[in-house]
Structures are given as C-alpha cells and as structure tokens.
Structure 1
Amino acid sequence: MRPEEYALIVLRRWWLVLLAALVAGGVAFLYSNAQPLSYQVSTRLMAVAQPPDYWMDLYAKNRLASYKNMIDNGDFVAAALKQAGLTVDPGQAMGMLSLGDDHDGNVIKIVVTDTDPDRAAAVANALASGFVARSAADNQQIVADYPQADGQKRGTVEIVKLETASAPQTPIGPRVKLNTAAAALLGLAFGVLLTFAAAYLDDTLRSEEDIDRYLALPTIIEVPRA
C-alpha cells in the first residue's frame, strides 16, 4: 500500500483514534487526581577512612554496597525507628525507602517517599542517625577486639551524616499532566492500530482499484452515486 492509502485508512476512522485518546487520557486524569500527594526527602551518609589512607579509602568504597544492604534490613529499620521514638511500622518504612550511592564520593543516599512530608523526614533522619550510631559501635568493638601491636589506632571506616533531612513543601506526585499526556499518546497509538485492524477486517470494495487488486476482474460498468 502507498503512504496515502495508510493515511486514508486513518482519516476514514479519525473518530476512533480521537475516542481512544480521549478515553485513555480521561482515565489517567481521573486516576491520577484520585491519588494522594506524595513527598520525597533525602539525606546522605559519607564513609570516611580513619585515619586517612589510600587502602582504607578503597576499602570504604568497596563497603558501600554492604552498607546499603545493612540499612535496607528489617531488623535495622525496626531498631532505628524505635531508637528515634517513631511509631511507624517497619514494613511500611521499608516500602517508603530507596537507596543510592556515589561511589566516587563514598556517599550513600537515603531517600524516603511518603504521603506525609513530616513523617518522611523523620524516617530518613532516624535511619541515617541509626546507621551512624551502629557504625560507631561496630568500630569501637573492632578496635577493642583487634588492638594494634605497635599501639597505633587501627584503621576504621567512620560513617558521617552530611545533612539533616527537612520536610519538603512541594509534592513530587502524582504527575497528573504527565500521566494524562502519556496515556493520551498511548490511546492515540492504540486508536491508529484499531483503524488498521478495522480496515483489515472490512471486506467492502470501495473503488475500481480495490476490485482490480483483490478480485483481478475488469470493471464492466460503474454506477455513479446519486
């Protein structure tokens, strides 16, 4: 088929394309508007080699993945929330939590997303402070269990909290306009597919070219439209 024939198929059923786009966009708009506002906060932890040393710094970088696994742990989350005096369910808090890292900067990023901005900030700070305290306790135990023979301080990795998370004022979601536009575009594409499907199933012969193409018969007479 020629490009103009494809265009004609779509134009012949333009209402179907428009209807699909409107329905998809409308559903997405209503669904997005029904969702509660969500807020996101973050705080960062840095793994610092003590005393500063190339090999200890390299060790700290290699420990970032392990630190993230330790934070994303139900027992740790429950203990950190309890220590901070929060009544948030640990399972709910873990569902709000996501973690990232900057390997070059030895930084772990704690991100909490929630419908309550104050609660999100409180959970993020509780987890950050809890991990700082846990790391300090672990370092004390390491120094006590493995003293240096020459009396020097054993190298450790200190976790430092870089900032305190504060409750955000602006929600990050739901993204009503973006969701509506994306759904409308998908509906538009689906509508175009429907027009081609309808054209494929339609066996009506609409022109002399159709008769020649599908039946390979000559046209004897053509009755003009009234």
Structure 2
Amino acid sequence: MDSEQTFSVGQIFDTLRKHISLIIISTLLVTLLSALFTFFVMTPKYSSTTEILVNRKLPAEMQGAQFQQVQADVQMISTYKDIIMSPAVLKDVDKTVKSEPGYPGSEEGLKSAISISSQQNSQVFSISAKSTDPETAANIANTTAKVFKQNIGKIMSVNNVSVVSKASVNEKPVSPRVKINIIAGIVLGLFVGIGFAFLRELGDRTVTSEQFLTEDLGLTSLGTVNEIDDKKVKKQIRNSHAGDMTKDGNELRMKRRV
C-alpha cells in the first residue's frame, strides 16, 4: 500500500471543519500570548529626529561649478554617515548621555540606537535616535548632530554645517507596534491551528468508510455494524425494563382475579 496520503479540496475543507475548535483555540491562545508579550514584556521605545544640511562653500571664482558641487555634496552624505557612526563622534556623544535614563548601555548600544537616512538628490540627511525614554532619545539625536558639526571640520574640509531642525521630545512610542503584533498573533495562531489539524488528520488511522477497505485494501465487505448512540441504548433498556414490569404487573392482577 502506498504510504503517501494526499488531500483533495473537499477533504481539506472537511479537515478544517472537523478541527475548527482546535483552530479557534490555537488562534486565541497565540493571539493572547502575543498581546501579553506586547503589553507586559516588550519595553516601549521612543524616537526623535534631527535634520542636518552640509553645504560646502565655494570661492567666488568657482561659483560656476555650483551644480557639480551640490551633486558632490549629495554623494558625500554616505561618507558623513560613516563619520557619525565612528568613534570620533560617538565617543563624545556617549560621554554626554551616559548618565541619562534610557541610556543604551554602551557605545555599541548607542551605535545601534542611532540611524541615519536621506532622500535621493537631497543635501539634507536625518539623524534618528531611539531610547526607552523620550527625552533621552531627543537628546541623543541633538547631541550627535552637535558633535558632528563640531568635529567634521577637523576631519574634512567642510565649513558649512547647519542643523535644519532640532529633535523634539516625542511622547508617542514607535515600538512595540500593538496592531501589527496582534495581527501577527492572529495569523500565526491560524497557521499553527491549521498545521495541528492536518497533523492530527494524518496521524488518524481510524477506518471511516467501507470504500477504503474494499477499494484501497482490497478486502471483502461482510457487512456493516451501525453505531448506536449511547443515550438511545440506555433509553431502550429503560423502556424494556418498564415494559417487563408492566407485563408482570398485568399477569399478577389476572392471577388475583382468578
């Protein structure tokens, strides 16, 4: 006999309908665990962003090359990102924010808490910082921009760095994302429940049809035994006992009359 078992579309729906309670319970449990983890385990994090513009000034005799200079400044943003993430900047930032609540814990942690982004063909780039304390997040972003502005002239021939907008305190956490986590819990719970349903179905070796015995196994059917509900059996037994008692009572009354 072939050991592989395949499912038709009808069998798939029958399996899902048969184990619908398992799927629902699994979905509820995983969703509940996801909610508990989101609200009671994960620590909220806050983010603040500051924007910086680096625009190198050209001598008067080179003003005609201004467009090329702008394009060069845009390409230089990748270099500025590397400088910001280097110890030359982060070491001073770390010293400043080390005593604040929500401090990332180390210079490496500070590096992980800071992210830098920029728009295409723009000389402005953003420095974002995350922390478990909203004020610390804003302070990290602003301090990083300040230290970069102070040190970039020593590292490169850049003499015009402007802070376009300072980071402000944002009281709304950026993580955890409650809705996304709950939806992920629902989806994961559904998949887990459906997986368990098919595993139980594959592991069920109970013969459920006469067709399986005759066609798949090639056996001869000698008859079928119908399943009787246990409640009906008990009811028939009670009715039978009641009938016997009635019959015995009638016979006893007839004997007394005689």
User: Which TM-score bucket, shorter chain as reference?
Assistant: 0.7 to 0.9
Contact kept? 1:74, 1:94, Cα under 8 Å: no
Post-superposition offset of 1:216:
3.4
Q: Give unpaired runs (5+ residues) of structure 2.
A: 1-6, 229-258
Normalising by the residue count of structure 1, what TM-score does the alignment of the two structures yield? Answer: 0.82
- 1:120 paired with 2:137, answer yes
Displacement after TM superposition at 1:224 (Å): 1.9
**Partner in structure 1 of residue 181 of structure 2:** 179
Q: Percent identity?
A: 20
Counting only pairs closer than 5 Å after superposition, residues 104-143 of structure 1 correspond to structure 2 as 104-138=121-155, 142=157
Q: Paired residue for 2:32, among 21, 26, 35?
A: 26
Residue 166 (str. 1) matches residue 172 (str. 2): no
1:12 paired with 2:18, answer: yes
CA contact (8 A) 1:64 1:103 kept: no
State the one-letter code of the partner of 2:216: Y
Residue pair 1:74, 1:91 contacting (<8 A) in 2 also: no
Contact in 2 for aligned 1:60/1:157 (Cα 8 Å): no
Gaps of 5+ in 1: 143-155
User: C-alpha deviations, 1:85-125, integer Å up to 9, x for none?
Assistant: 76354333223111112231122211111110001101100
Q: Deviations over 1:32-75 (max 9, x none)?
A: 11222211111111222323612222221221111101111234
Contact kept, 8 Å, 1:68 with 1:108, in 2: the verdict is no
Partner of 1:48: 55
Aligned to 1:94: 111
Q: Which structure is richer in relative contact order (CA contacts within 8 A, separation 6 or more)?
A: 1
**1:135-214 alignment runs, 5 A limit:** 135-138=152-155, 142=157, 156=158, 158-212=160-214, 214=216
Q: Who wins on radius of gyration, i.e. which is larger? A: 2
Instruction: Give the TM-score taking structure 2 as reference length.
Output: 0.73
Provide the secondary structure at the position in 2 that maps to 1:162. Answer: strand
Q: Is the 8 A contact 2:53 2:162 kept in 1?
A: yes
Tell me how far apart the structure 1 counterparts of residues 163 and 211 of structure 2 sit (CA, whole Å). 76
More moved, 178-187 vs 112-121: 178-187
**Hey, what's the Cα distance between the residues in 1 that align with 2:196 and 2:147?**
56
| Structure whose residues are more often helix by fraction | 2
Q: CA deviation at 1:213?
A: 5.0
Q: CA RMSD in A?
A: 2.2
Residues of 2 paired with 1:212 and 1:189: CA distance? Answer: 35
State which of 20, 38, 62 in structure 1 corresponds to 2:75. 62
Letter in 1 for 2:110: A
Question: Secondary structure, in 3 states, of the residue corresponding to 1:50?
Answer: coil
Aligned AA (2:208): R
Aligned pair count reads 210
Local SS of the residue matching 2:188: helix
37-46 or 114-123, which moves further after superposition? 37-46
Residues 99 and 214 (structure 1 numbering): CA distance in 2 closer, same or farther, change over 3 Å?
Answer: farther
Give the secondary-structure state (helix, strand or coil) at the position aligned to 1:98. Answer: strand
Which amino acid is 1:158 matched to? N
